[in-house]
Amino acid sequence: MKFNKMRVMLTGFSIGWGIFLLIVMLGAGNGLLHGITNGFITNKENIIKIVPATTSIPYKGLQKGREIFFTDNDCGKIQKDLSRNIKMMVPQLDTLALISSGAEHCTASINGFYPGYLIVKNQRILEGRDLNDTDIKNSRKVCVLTSSTADVLFPKGDAVGKIIKVFDVVFTVVGVTKSMQAADISKAVYAPFSTVRQLYFRNDNVNCINIILKDLNTLEANDSFVETLRNWFAENKDISPKDYGAINLTDDFDMFIQISGIMNSIQSFVWIVGLATLIAGVVGVSNIMLITVKERVREIGVRKAMGASSGSVIRLVLLEAVIITLLFGYLGMLVGIGLTQLADFGATSALGADNAVFTNPTVDFNTIIIANCVLLICGIIAGYIPAKKAAKNKLVDSLAGII
């Protein structure tokens, strides 16, 4: 190696380049996947959202076009009948309203909720506090704003404790939420369920039923529950079992499975391409080691004539291949990690830390460990074949320079 520096460097470059591309592609793939996660599937709960619509099929003497309504009693009955797989029931009231604060105003939805809506809406408290049971019990005129709404109504910040008007009714802002999804910029006002009902609704109807599910870990189990839920509505609301348009049902779990499949495909593709590039480098190292063995065949013959074992000959060649692979592989890995860190800094500066395009394009510790194992295995493979060939060569042939 000392007397063939250029050859060693060129040989090691192929390994370094392969591991560099593997790290960079894994980092880029992770950045894309993290962006997708921020934009679409940050909520880890399995949530079904059900909105009433109109019937499209006549049923039991009732004509099509009949409007379906959900009530408080429906929520309680669903909770009772399907309690085995229901973790939380979150009914919802909502209507569009003109929201104003001084000279600032915007159009936003005002939503009446019980505690637990943050999970459904995939939000977290950014400032102030959340709605509580006392707010609902006393029908307080308090509200929580989404950050998009707060930015419009209070451009200078400090929305908590301020007053807003919703249809000329005064509400006190007690908190501001931030969406867990970077792509969500919806404007909304969250208020106690009882307050919204008293002010804007004159019956016991609900606009939407949100169900947080439990113990449904497979797509088959989830689909079975969805079918059971549809049958429940068909039986209790006189809807044809075939009339899927009578209620609009959004199933987050199904979307999660689909997006997860896309993410897994991207990760698999990145690993395949990266490993293929690395294998190409291993082939290059193996070819160079074959040349090295041919150049040193007489030396190997002399060693064997002096009593060297086949194992010592194998170690001689194998050690050189492993040193080249690990040394240049680590260099390539360090450069790749440095580049992903630089890309992370650039993406965060340009797009923000929680963007839905490209986020945290770095590799985790487990990936580094795997890459190290891959490097070691590659070095062993690259050196073993020519080493084994040198060890099996006959002593006479080795001394004659024939292999």
Domain end position, chosen among 216, 245, 274:
245
pLDDT tens-place string over residues 312-328: 888 887 888 888 888 88
- Nearest 5 degrees, angle CA 18-CA 24-CA 30? 135
Residues 327 and 364 in one domain: yes
Q: Which tokens hold the place of 33?
A: 């996947």
Cβ(81)–Cβ(171) below 8 Å: no
What is the predicted pLDDT for the residue at 44?
A: 65
Domain match, 157 and 102 both: yes
The tally of domains found in the chain comes to 2
Domain containing 171: what range? 54-245
What are the tens digits of pLDDT across the range 258-281? Answer: 777 777 787 788 778 777 877 777
Q: Does 250 reside within a domain?
A: no
CA dihedral 118, 122, 125, 129 (to 10 degrees): -10
Quick one: which of 327, 317, 331 has its CA closest to 286?
Answer: 317
Instruction: Please say which residue of 245, 275, 305 terminates a domain.
Output: 245
Q: Are residues 20 and 84 in the same domain?
A: no
Does one domain contain both 341 and 219?
A: no
Q: Looking at the domain assignment, is residue 99 inside a domain?
A: yes
Please give the angle made by the CA atoms of 303, 307 and 309, to the nearest 5 degrees. Answer: 85
Strand-strand pairing, 104-113 and 247-251: unpaired
Judge if 133 and 220 occupy the same domain.
yes
In a domain, 164, yes or no: yes
Contact at 8 Å (CB) between 15 and 328? yes
Q: 47 in a domain, yes or no?
A: no
Angle of CA points 292, 298, 299, to nearest 5° = 75
Task: Say if 385 falls within a structural domain.
Answer: yes
Q: Is residue 48 part of a domain?
A: no
CA–CA distance, 217 with 221 (Å, rounded to integer): 7
Tell me the average confidence (pLDDT) per consecutive run of 10 residues in the chain, 403 residues long.
81 81 82 68 75 91 90 92 91 93 91 88 90 94 94 90 92 91 78 93 90 84 89 91 89 73 78 77 76 78 83 81 84 88 80 64 78 76 78 75 65
Cβ contacts of 7-14, under 8 Å, gap ≥ 24: 7/288, 8/324, 11/284, 11/285, 11/288, 11/324, 12/285, 12/324, 12/325, 12/327, 12/328, 12/331, 13/328, 14/280, 14/281, 14/284, 14/285
Q: Is residue 318 part of a domain?
A: yes
Residue 125 sits at φ, ψ, to 5 deg, of -70, 125
Q: Tell me how long the chain is.
A: 403
Task: Select from 245, 266, 290 the last residue of a domain.
Answer: 245
Question: What distance in Å separates the CA atoms of residue 150 and residue 263, rounded to the nearest whole number?
Answer: 34
Let me know whether 82 and 225 are in one domain: yes
- Does 167 lie in the same domain as 315? no
pLDDT computed for residue 77 by the predictor: 93
> Do 218 and 192 share a structural domain?
yes
Residue 122 in any domain: the answer is yes
Predicted local confidence at residue 30, as pLDDT: 79
Residue 82 shares a structural domain with residue 115: yes
Say yes or no: 303 and 271 in one domain. Answer: yes
Indicate whether 198 and 302 sit together in one domain: no
Residues 263 and 201 placed together within one structural domain of the fold: no
